[in-house]
Structure 1
Amino acid sequence: MTILLNADLHCHSTVSDGTLMPEALAARAHANGVQLWALTDHDEIAGQQRAIAAAHALGLDYLTGVEVSVTFAGTTVHIVGLGFDADDAQLAAGLLATRGGRGERAQEMARQLAQVGIQDAYAGALRYVGNPELISRTHFARYLVETGVCRDTGEVFRRFLTEGKPGYVEHRWARLGDAVRWIRDAGGLAVIAHPGRYRFTPTEEYALFSEFTQHGGQGVEVVTGSHLPSEYPIYAGMAQEFGLAASRGSDFHSPDESHTDLGALPDLPGQLTPVWALLQPRILRAPRT
């Protein structure tokens, strides 16, 4: 049932932790042959109107998008929302509440880094932030690469910004059920983002999928820049087991940092229902000439 389409439904702009503006992302997606695009900034939809306008100016079809941070089983999990009403007040309020506390968390991260000899990390991270409400570990990682503490952002995360390392500060995000409800009530479809990244035990992963579907979640990312190719069939099987539609997205953040470019992923495997098949009425079609 898979409909072949170069859809890229997961990427980030300067509105959250990407390095390109929405307009530049639209141009890159179009140049790379993307046919259906979504900008999915972390916990923020302020870039949606810019993304829609840029996509349509290029003749590119668009789905509204966001990536919501939730806490599940003591782990930060991301839920992508697609095809929602970008003017929905309840969704905007929920995302605003989720963003709350990032500033305090960032200050504590900087204090911990200072204790291991890395000074001025908060001010340094701010130089990479397009939206101060969304300062994140990625911004700190870019500063530590700039100052030569680490060779690349991957090394920063391994040495400083994951659980048990100096610079890691846990944050309580939205609840899974709330995130799914915000997306659904705004007319959208909720998707588990890159499940292979979370390193859950099989029991924890099964619980995540079970609770997600009970709340009304309808999709899972199968082919993503955050999965190894060997993981594609695993999550294709999970999609079939739980009756979920399959999504596809590069998780592109930056030309200098991302392993997978916009539009560069392989097709969805197997007999899967793609999320865009369920979202046809929600696709914002570019004007046709």
Structure 2
Amino acid sequence: MPSETDLHCHTTASDGKLTPAELVARAHERGITTLAITDHDTVAGFRDARPAAATAGIRLIPGIELSCVWGGITIHVVGLNFDPDSPAMLAAEARQSEARRNRAALIAEKVGKKLHHSIDLAQVEAYAGGDQIGRPHFAQYLVDKGLVPSMAVAFSKYLGAGKVGDVKAGWPELAEAVQWIIAAGGTAVLAHAHHYNMTRTKLRACLQDFIAAGGSAVEVAYGLMDSNQQGQISALAREFNLLGSCGSDYHGPNRFGLELGIMPTFPAGITPVWHNWASPATAG
């Protein structure tokens, strides 16, 4: 179902296909009135989108999707409605940027060795356009060099979960990432909890640590989440008294079959993450 609120999407500031201004324009076309740009480990997308959002009359919420680690598993935590210029968030961005640079060098080394091909990291960086380097940029490089037939194959063979290019080096622990968001005055949301390869017992333990660190919300209406997945996550949200967030995880046209603003209906009985936010005039 289309939603007027989308609190999880990406721009060219990380691994999205649309510029911040283009994303805002698409949101306006689709009737979205509240938008959070949550680029990976950077608030640059939000900062660049502010003029376009003001012109379009869209309430733009400061957002970021932080990479971190819990129990040896890469976890993503979305930060919402924080002060983008706070010392805590600026320090978090600097830390994550350094981690991404180190990670990119390691991915280039590991994937290059596997393919017997010397990967030109400068060319991969060019795909990122000076913004955060991610695995999709490596995938595009591999396709353009004729080393794989498609980005899907690049991920299934070399860059996806558990593959040689799935490098976790440098990410902070879950608690530290959550604390960055809290220190910046924001709300920490556990992103797409149904995607992690965890048993229910392990996911409950992760949620307990997330809450202990200051986390207070979980995504209960997310992109192409099916009814069974939504039911499971919604039940956990109720059990742990967590707020609910929603978002498409839109990355651009023809990416992952997603569209901006499309997600399951927000479940009943869960308080929305935006319930206690300031008025649109003061929320970023």
Q: TM above 0.5, one fold?
A: yes
Matching residue's letter, 1:127: A
Matching residue's letter, 1:268: F
Once the two structures are superposed, the pairs formed by residues 96-111 of structure 1 within 5 Å of their partners are: 96-111=94-109
| Contact map agreement 2:41 2:64 (CA 8 A) in 1 | yes
| TM-score (norm. length: structure 2) | 0.90
Equivalent position of 1:44 in the other structure: 42
Equivalent position of 2:182 in the other structure: 184
SS of the equivalent of 2:109 reads helix
Equivalent position of 1:257 in the other structure: 255
Equivalent residue for 1:137, pick from 135, 138, 149:
135
Equivalent position of 2:92 in the other structure: 94
Equivalent position of 1:59 in the other structure: 57
Residue deviations 1:71-120, cap 9 Å, x none?
A: 10101101111111111111210221122132232222222222223443
Verify: 1:29 aligned to 2:42, yes or no.
no
The alpha-carbon distance between structure 1 residues 224 and 147, as it changes in their structure 2 partners (threshold 3 A), is: farther
Matching residue's letter, 1:216: G
Report the Cα distance in structure 1 between the residues aligned to 2:70 and 2:64, rounded to whole angstroms.
Answer: 18
Equivalent position of 1:154 in the other structure: 152
Matching residue's letter, 1:154: A
Where does structure 2 lack aligned partners over 5 or more consecutive residues? none
| Contact map agreement 1:14 1:131 (CA 8 A) in 2 | no
The alpha-carbon distance between structure 1 residues 170 and 181, as it changes in their structure 2 partners (threshold 3 A), is: closer
Identity of aligned residues (%): 38
Verify: 1:75 aligned to 2:49, yes or no.
no
The alpha-carbon distance between structure 1 residues 212 and 118, as it changes in their structure 2 partners (threshold 3 A), is: same
Report the Cα distance in structure 2 between the residues aligned to 1:123 and 1:168, rounded to whole angstroms.
Answer: 20
Report the Cα distance in structure 1 between the residues aligned to 2:111 and 2:211, rounded to whole angstroms.
Answer: 39
Report the Cα distance in structure 1 between the residues aligned to 2:185 and 2:38, rounded to whole angstroms.
Answer: 16
Report the Cα distance in structure 1 between the residues aligned to 2:21 and 2:87, rounded to whole angstroms.
Answer: 25
Equivalent position of 1:208 in the other structure: 206
Query: 1:240 Cα shift?
Result: 0.6
| TM-score (norm. length: structure 1) | 0.89
Instruction: Point out the more displaced range, 50-59 or 238-247.
Output: 50-59
The count of corresponding residues between Structure 1 and Structure 2 is 281
| Contact map agreement 1:218 1:245 (CA 8 A) in 2 | yes
Equivalent position of 2:218 in the other structure: 220
| Contact map agreement 1:145 1:156 (CA 8 A) in 2 | yes
| Contact map agreement 1:71 1:172 (CA 8 A) in 2 | no
Where does structure 1 lack aligned partners over 5 or more consecutive residues? none
Report the Cα distance in structure 2 between the residues aligned to 1:211 and 1:164, rounded to whole angstroms.
Answer: 24
